[in-house]
Structure 1
Amino acid sequence: MILSPLSRQQTALRICRPLIRTQDLYNPKTQRRRIHKLPQLGHAGAFQRDGIPGMLSPEGYDMAWNQYQGHLVDRLNRLTAGTPLENSTTHDLILAHARQPNAASLFNHASMAWSNHQFFSTLSPDPPKMSPHLTSKINDSFSSPESLKQTFIATANAMFGPGFVWLVRHKYRNDYLMENEFSILTTYIAGSPLPGAHYRRQEQDHNTMMAAGSFGSASLFPGKESKIAYGGADIDILLGVNTWQHVWLMDHGVGGKKSFLEGWWKAIDWDVVESNWHSTTGKERNAENRRSYPLGRVGDVGRRRQTPAEGVY
């Protein structure tokens, strides 16, 4: 783990109206007003028709993406409707609420929607091979792609509980890692790998825990401290796998998590992974500018980006 432990508890949430029925996941026919929308995957047609070979059946894909991601988007619409936040992307919602103990529900749904989208966006029904350039970079950090595979799958399979496992690039050198080195990061429940969200210790971030001030000064004066928590790292996210049971249980059974992970590795679109790597290096100056923006104030998020009426993600 990259993050250092931060003890915290969750404040009580005030429920103003009944939430979505638990037996319903996502039904677009019930959506009357949708600012946030289900993002379109590049291979959605093939996934819907054939599933993801070796990984998910069409029914498993429909559950893990259409229904579950649709449910997350629906909840974001309900939580932000009529507020300045309804025009904010999931990325901005995560950063704005990572230090706000009383916004656990909004953070959780935005973080899960962002992470699940990252997971599915790196999959392909006909994945290309890893390029020599990317292979060389992986060799530098993991000795070989096979070593990366074994480490990645073993880490994800050993997680006792739901979460995500990520391949990340470290932007700057520290006492343990070289600049541009790749490493593996785990996040639990709806925890986010984004550097600006590292203040939230997600494995203790349940909506029903009662206490205030668990973030100390970070919750009292958001936006004024460093955007990276103590013990955190400034990273870019290249690849991730979702280990939540609803993703793999239908197709692989109770003991089939490793089988799912083996199938996932064969479905990775390495061109997308390499694109994530190269696109991040050219955006670091913009990222530095973004980190200096005071995202912590709730009202600032909706004003920061005005989006077209057709929806945001």
Structure 2
Amino acid sequence: MSSAGLCRASSSLTGALSAWKSTKCPRQFWGARRHLHSRIELDYKVDEGLANFMSPRTLKMVSEEYQQGLLDRLNEMFPDAADQRKSVTQLVIDTASSGKDALGFSYASHALNNSFFLNCLRPPKKEENYEDKIHNLLIAPSIRTQFGSLPHFINNFSSAARGMSGSGYIWLITDAVGNLAIQPTFAAGTLLVRSRACTENPAGCHEVLHEGRFRDGPQPTHLNTGLGSTPTSPTSGMSQGPGPLHPSAPVRTLHSSPRSHLDGARSFYDDERADRGIDSSARSLRNLGEKIYPLFCVSIHEHCWLLDHGVWGKEKYMKEFWSVLNWETVNERYLTFTSTKVGPQPFRK
């Protein structure tokens, strides 16, 4: 046979084997494939920064270097293909109460929180007054009714951020009937996931978590959620070799509120069994319902403001935050989680 004939025969055999693998033999029998967690691109340009809130240099550090560093270390902590097919959300749930996976929980939770924070932002539009913008949103009456006024709400939220000692996040959360609350979490604490069992999947949850897709392949799940059909990870592209970036004193608590404060409140994911043995009065404290939904958060970490605003720049950082918060997204989340339970509330003048 001529050399040309051999090439054609070899090409045909390769094609036939590929077709046989894809149609006759399940993927798991001809080699497991790894699906490394990696960043997704943001909806805005990192190299343009976020006005006076974050310079391009800081935004690149927070959204690319720090985020991918967390995910690289998470991949190293869980090298098994089965773990790397899980979403970061699932890894947080799986490691929440495991003492031997404390560092893995820390990496996963930090990555999830940081991704949620970055996806709450957008560059400000020219000549746009964010206060005027908020007044026209359907969430505005609830803010006025529950906090007295928009400036009062902003002051309360910013004060909570300024008063936080150490790192963490400040969240605005709601329940199914539209009650609002400001809640801090510390270190690796999160309000996006509350327990090991994933039994809640509110409408829009997948989009709210902003988890990206794995490069290919299905994601197995043994939980009764809507997340099993779409493989996910909170953030694409791989950075160069990671340097030493290990958050100190990893904390595995999924929320850091006092026990009497939110013991009965549930977030996106929770275990129905967690309700057993909990006094019903604990779930009604501060007017929060059984399920809580984060609307937005702000990262309270020095690397977010140090380069742009200085060591004591947290107050300036918070002042600029409101101009880059994506209020349209916040409003959409609020309506998604409360639209079937809450009606329009009167404006408070």
Q: Please, what TM-score do these two structures have when normalized by structure 2?
A: 0.58
1:91 to 68, 89, 92: 89
Determine if contact 1:166/1:237 at 8 Å carries over to the other structure. yes
SS in 2 for 1:132: coil
Q: Paired residues, what number? A: 225
The alpha carbon displacement at 1:167 in A equals 0.2
**Aligned twin of 1:164:** 169
Separation (CA, whole Å) in 2 of partners of 1:100 and 1:158: 31
Letter in 2 for 1:196: R
Percent identical across equivalent pairs? 25
Determine if contact 1:104/1:206 at 8 Å carries over to the other structure. no
Q: Structure 1 residues 90 and 229, CA, compared in 2 at 3 Å: closer, same or farther? A: farther
**Aligned twin of 2:139:** 134
The alpha carbon displacement at 1:207 in A equals 4.7
Separation (CA, whole Å) in 2 of partners of 1:75 and 1:124: 28
Q: Deviations over 1:42-101 (max 9, x none)?
A: 11x2xx222110111110111111110010111121122224221111222222222222
The alpha carbon displacement at 1:132 in A equals 3.4
Q: Determine if the alignment matches structure 1 residue 62 to structure 2 residue 60.
A: yes
Separation (CA, whole Å) in 2 of partners of 1:100 and 1:191: 15
Separation (CA, whole Å) in 2 of partners of 1:148 and 1:208: 29
Q: Determine if the alignment matches structure 1 residue 189 to structure 2 residue 237.
A: no
Letter in 2 for 1:135: A
**Aligned twin of 1:244:** 301
Relative contact order, higher structure (CA 8 A, sep 6+): 1
Instruction: Please say which of residues 33-42 and 140-149 is displaced more in the overlay.
Output: 33-42
Separation (CA, whole Å) in 2 of partners of 1:49 and 1:64: 12
Q: Structure 1 residues 100 and 208, CA, compared in 2 at 3 Å: closer, same or farther? A: closer
Q: Structure 1 residues 283 and 252, CA, compared in 2 at 3 Å: closer, same or farther? A: farther
Q: Please, what TM-score do these two structures have when normalized by structure 1?
A: 0.65
Letter in 1 for 2:37: H
SS in 2 for 1:72: helix
Letter in 1 for 2:310: G
**Aligned twin of 1:279:** 336
Gaps of 5+ in 1: 1-32, 172-178, 199-204, 210-221, 285-313
Q: Structure 1 residues 223 and 123, CA, compared in 2 at 3 Å: closer, same or farther? A: closer
The alpha carbon displacement at 1:193 in A equals 1.1
Gaps of 5+ in 2: 1-33, 197-247, 253-269, 284-289, 342-349
**Aligned twin of 2:249:** 206
**Aligned twin of 1:116:** 114
SS in 1 for 2:138: helix
Separation (CA, whole Å) in 2 of partners of 1:107 and 1:50: 32
Q: Structure 1 residues 208 and 271, CA, compared in 2 at 3 Å: closer, same or farther? A: closer
**Aligned twin of 2:266:** none
Determine if contact 2:187/2:250 at 8 Å carries over to the other structure. no
Determine if contact 1:169/1:180 at 8 Å carries over to the other structure. yes
SS in 1 for 2:40: coil
The alpha carbon displacement at 1:180 in A equals 2.3
**Aligned twin of 2:3:** none
Letter in 1 for 2:184: T
SS in 2 for 1:160: coil
**Aligned twin of 1:260:** 317
